[in-house]
Amino acid sequence: MEILFTFMLVRLAIIAAVVVGIVLLIALVVVLARRAGRLDDVRRVAAPLARGLGNRRGVWGTVGRGAAGYLDRDADR
């Protein structure tokens, strides 16, 4: 039983590390794009991807709809 708990804990740690890595990578891209003055170009490319992802079901669809809403809200400014 202890081996099962250890396995599940290691699996959770790996998944959490991957999620944190992806978030950091996205933040790095945004910061670099903002510094280079190309944030509008990144938004223009990311918006169709977010809308396409938002058409799916489940967690990815929720993330896509949230990202599309965020990008649309920023475009109105």
Q: For position 12, what pLDDT does the model report? A: 95
Helix (H, G, I), strand (E, B), or coil: what is residue 77?
coil
Spatial contact of 52 and 65, defined as CB atoms under 8 Å apart: no
What CA–CA distance (Å, rounded) separates 75 from 26? 19
What CA–CA distance (Å, rounded) separates 72 from 69? 5
Dump pLDDT digits (tens) for 1-50.
899 999 999 999 999 999 999 999 988 888 888 788 777 777 788 888 88
State the sign of the Cα–Cα–Cα–Cα dihedral 47, 15, 12, 60. Answer: positive
Q: What is the pTM of this model?
A: 0.54
